[in-house]
Amino acid sequence: MAIELNLPTSLTLLRIALIPLLTIVFYLPWQYSNLACTIIFIIAGFTDWLDGYLARKMKLETAFGAFLDPVADKLMVAFVLVLIVQAQADISVAIASAIIIGREITIASLREWMAEIGQRASVKVSDLGKWKTTTQMLAIAFLLYRDDLMGLPINLMGYWLLYLAAVLTLWSMMNYLSAAFMVMKEKQ
């Protein structure tokens, strides 16, 4: 089976390629590396929105693209959270990051299993999941930037957004697991 590379899939691959670039820039001994990392992360987030939009608008949705897009998202989030935990060694950041990464692995596995039994629609993305993702992306961008901006404590705001994202993460995970258990109960 040949994999067709179209514009949306190429944008998803670009998002994956930005991970090592962001990692290298993160460790550069450069005054503006935090700003550059934040910009790279925002570009990655924009490609996430754009690839889905273009795939639907241009009718270029493919099975490979549908598989690759969430993989790219989870890779970016996991890598960046590991960098943040390493740079800001704080137990609360580590726990919140572990919750987020653990949930992503759990729900990805759950979706794959539900797809195998023909029930993928029962664990589709919810509005709560979208709020979780938005909060998580803002938190990560703030924690990458770290410096105060126009008197706003960006890093502290990033901490609080990360904690909120962790709570939303647990809440959305419980909703997904509950939906999956209802399907399993019906099948018995």
Tens digit of each residue's pLDDT, the chain (188 residues):
567 789 999 999 999 999 999 999 999 999 999 999 999 999 999 999 899 899 999 998 888 888 888 899 999 999 999 999 999 989 999 999 999 999 989 888 887 777 777 766 666 677 888 899 899 999 999 999 999 999 999 999 999 999 999 999 999 888 888 888 887 777 76
| Dihedral angle sign, alpha carbons of residues 49, 108, 130, 44 | negative
Q: What is the pLDDT of residue 2?
A: 62
Q: What is the pLDDT of residue 9?
A: 93
Q: What is the pLDDT of residue 62?
A: 87
What whole-number distance in Å separates Cα of residue 133 and Cα of residue 142?
A: 14
Q: Give Cβ neighbours of residue 108 (< 8 Å, ≥ 6 apart).
A: 70, 74
What is the pTM for the complete model shown? 0.89
> Do 123 and 114 meet the contact criterion of CB atoms below 8 Å apart?
yes
Tokens 């949705």 locate to: 61
**Count of Cβ atoms closer than 10 Å to residue 14 Cβ:** 15
Domain extent listing, the chain: 1-87, 91-183
Strand, helix or coil for residue 146: coil
What whole-number distance in Å separates Cα of residue 98 and Cα of residue 150?
A: 31
Tokens 């961008």 locate to: 141
Strand, helix or coil for residue 149: strand
- 1-87, CATH topology level: Four Helix Bundle (Hemerythrin (Met), subunit A) (1.20.120)
**Count of Cβ atoms closer than 10 Å to residue 61 Cβ:** 15
Q: What is the pLDDT of residue 139?
A: 97
